[in-house]
Structures are given as structure tokens and as C-alpha cells.
Structure 1
């Protein structure tokens, strides 16, 4: 199952999400939006808005499901942890 995290490098909930995934040996791709520049940053922000309906972080995509914010219970359910 594909897991992708849109995060900010300064966001505590983003760090908590990544730590939880790491502790459970979940492979995932991360996009640290605030560290991107130019069009890549604009594209990432547009994608976050499209997926979440806003600009909250983190945005976690597990398969076809989108989770906005750090929701340990939902992540656990979707990954079968």
C-alpha cells in the first residue's frame, strides 16, 4: 500500500506522524512543502488544498484515503497495525 505524507519541517504534528510511521516500520514518501521552492512548492500547496480542502498539515495519503492532521487511530486502521 502506498503511503505519502505532505508535511512542514516545523510542524509538530507532522513530526509525530512521521515518528509513528517510522516506529511501525511503514515505508512512506514525504514532501516537506515548506522546503520546496518555486513551481514545485506551488504545485505541492495546490495538491494539499485539493486533497484536504484547506491548508492543514500533515496530510497523509494511505492508498485512496486522505487523513488531515495526526490521527493515530485512523492511520492504524488503514495500515492494519
Structure 2
């Protein structure tokens, strides 16, 4: 997958599955930026063909409904939707 990397404080592996047109996804990104967290993200709606298939297969490991935003922390904690308190608790 072609991830976009954002520099910040390393809190482990932080991956955001998002849509480019999703307001809640934008809010999660803004929160991560405010907290100065290092993370990677990918916009599912801007992927095509094999990359989209790979993205959806990876996303289903953490969120069977494949809804957005989905934030995966250290490959073992998943936050689905916009939940700023939970993000702060796990990453701040």
C-alpha cells in the first residue's frame, strides 16, 4: 500500500484508514497532528485495483465492516470512528 507518512512523536505503529471526503477522517488526522503523533495514513477512495484490494484485506483484519475512519495502533488496538478521548488515552 502506498502510505503517506506524517512525522511526529513516535508512539509505535499508528495507521489511519480514511476517505479523502470524510469529515470524521479529517478530524482524526487533525487530532493526531495536534497531539504531534507520528502516523501513516491512506485514503481508500484514492486507491485502485490491486492496491485497493490489498487495503481492504488489511482493513478487514481490524474492522470487518470496513468503515472509516479506522485507526490501528501497534496492530492490536483499533479505534473505529471519531473518538478523541480514546485516541488521547492510547497515544497521549
Specify if TM > 0.5: yes
**TM-score for the superposition, normalised by structure 1:** 0.91
Q: Aligned partners of 2:85, 2:63: CA distance in 1, in Å?
A: 18
How far has the Cα of 1:49 moved from its partner? 2.4
More helix by share: 1
In the TM superposition, what is the alpha-carbon distance from 1:27 to its structure 2 partner? 0.7
**Whole-angstrom distance in 1 between the partners of 2:17 and 2:39:** 11
Which residue is 1:44 aligned to?
Answer: 55
- Long gaps (5+) in structure 1: none
Q: Hey, what does 1:57 align to over in structure 2?
A: 68
Matched, 1:28 2:64: no
TM-score normalised by L of structure 2 = 0.81
Which of the residues 68, 76, 80 maps onto 2:88?
A: 76
The one-character-per-residue Cα deviations of 1:2-48 (angstroms, maximum 9, x if unpaired) are 10000000011000000000011101000111101111011112222
CA distance in 2, matches of 1:59, 1:31: 11
Aligned to 2:38, what secondary structure does the other structure show?
coil
The alignment covers a number of residue pairs equal to 80
Q: Alpha carbon RMSD of aligned pairs, Å?
A: 1.0
- The answer for unaligned runs of 5 or more in structure 2 is 1-11
After the TM superposition, list the runs of 4 or more consecutive aligned residues in structure 1 that deviate by more than 2 angstroms. Answer: none
